[in-house]
Amino acid sequence: MDHNNSYSASYAAAGVDITAGYKAVELMKKHIARTRNEGCLDDVGGFGGCFGLPIAGMEEPVLVSGTDGVGTKLKLAILMDKHNTIGIDCVAMCVNDIICVGAKPLFFLDYIACGKNVPEKIAEIVGGVAEGCVQAGSALIGGETAEHPGMMPEEEYDLAGFAVGIVDKKKILDKTTMRPGDVVIALPSTGIHSNGFSLCRKVFDIDNNNPQLYVSREELGGKTIAEALLTPTKIYVKPVLALLEQVNVRGISHITGGGFYENIPRSIPDGLGAKIDKSAVKVLPIFDLIAKFGNIPERDMFNTYNMGVGMSIVVPADQKDLALSILKANGEDAYVIGTIVESEEKVILE
């Protein structure tokens, strides 16, 4: 599209450069092209993203949607001036939610609000969003970048998005099928993902750019705290979809803000609880550092962070070995962390 005649000096004087928006779109197109799949019907730049629904073979197709942002993890990305992975987090927070229903993600749209539109930075952010979409097998079919002078400092921005997926109604996961003796399987996280950063900012004094953030640490494999914290959220779509094809999955929980105590109960019916063996949980070193620096009690840690478990999956005991083999064949170092028991308490950590 030719925007040569589109320029408003008055709008630019007020802090909004519409030509920067056009340049950002041109720069991000190469990233968006990587996400195109069979459902995409048009190019970026129109007023709405169009997508053809793949409903062949489905008796009652159901659309499943999820929306989220990245939260105050953005503070660290801005501080480090590293913007090419934060978009992965945004996609992950949405698609990891909708696969808990049993749905396959179809497409994603993002929204970026910024103090000043720097086209190269916006394209870098969208490049991360596109990478997340590639990992999820989802098309990036549109989005919006809004320049908000006076609402936020020029260097700051916020990022949010939403995903839409599809599932045959009869295949929606039904937690009421869960039974005592079922096994709880953990899928490892890559770090703290995108939750609990307000506490991290306090613990590590991030807002004051604590020099300790940039010191390589042996317990982090030579990474700095800042690098470990900015590690993008893991996207579990492809291994979970592979699992759903062969195993009678009873329930899935995406472990986000609120940790074990808030998220695991969401996939467990009344009268049952998940008995978790704490000694089996492979806690990542970054969580030990958070607890140490902040003098945070263990229960608060498990009630805030994923502690190294990005997703928990409940399967029948007689399908445990099959489930583990499928997940491992799809790149997940999955392992058992507990069982389902009769209980009025939804999560029992022992």
Residue 39's pLDDT is what? 87
Distance CA 126, CA 129 (A): 5
Residue 29 binned pLDDT confidence (cut-offs 50, 70, 90): confident
Q: Which residues sit opposite 348 in a β-bridge?
A: 275
pLDDT at residue 288 above 80?
Answer: yes
Residue 37 binned pLDDT confidence (cut-offs 50, 70, 90): confident
pLDDT at residue 273 above 90?
Answer: yes
Q: DSSP string of 132-159?
A: HHHHHT-EEEEEEEEE-BTTB-TT-EEE
Average pLDDT of span 258-282: 97
pLDDT at residue 68 above 60?
Answer: yes
pLDDT at residue 6 above 90?
Answer: no
- Mean of the per-residue pLDDT values of the chain: 93
Could you tell me the pTM of the whole model? 0.93
pLDDT at residue 34 above 50?
Answer: yes
pLDDT at residue 15 above 90?
Answer: no
Residue 32's pLDDT is what? 84
Question: Mind listing the pLDDT tens digit for each residue in 84-95?
Answer: 999 999 999 999
Residue 1's pLDDT is what? 47
pLDDT at residue 329 above 50?
Answer: yes
Average pLDDT of span 214-224: 96
pLDDT at residue 259 above 70?
Answer: yes
Q: DSSP string of 272-329?
A: EEEEE-GGGS---HHHHHHHHHHT--HHHHHTTS-TTEEEEEEE-GGGHHHHHHHHHH
Residue 148 binned pLDDT confidence (cut-offs 50, 70, 90): very high
Average pLDDT of span 235-251: 98
CA proximity to 240, closest of 174, 326, 173? 326
Q: Name the more confident of 190 and 8.
A: 190
Residue 250's pLDDT is what? 98
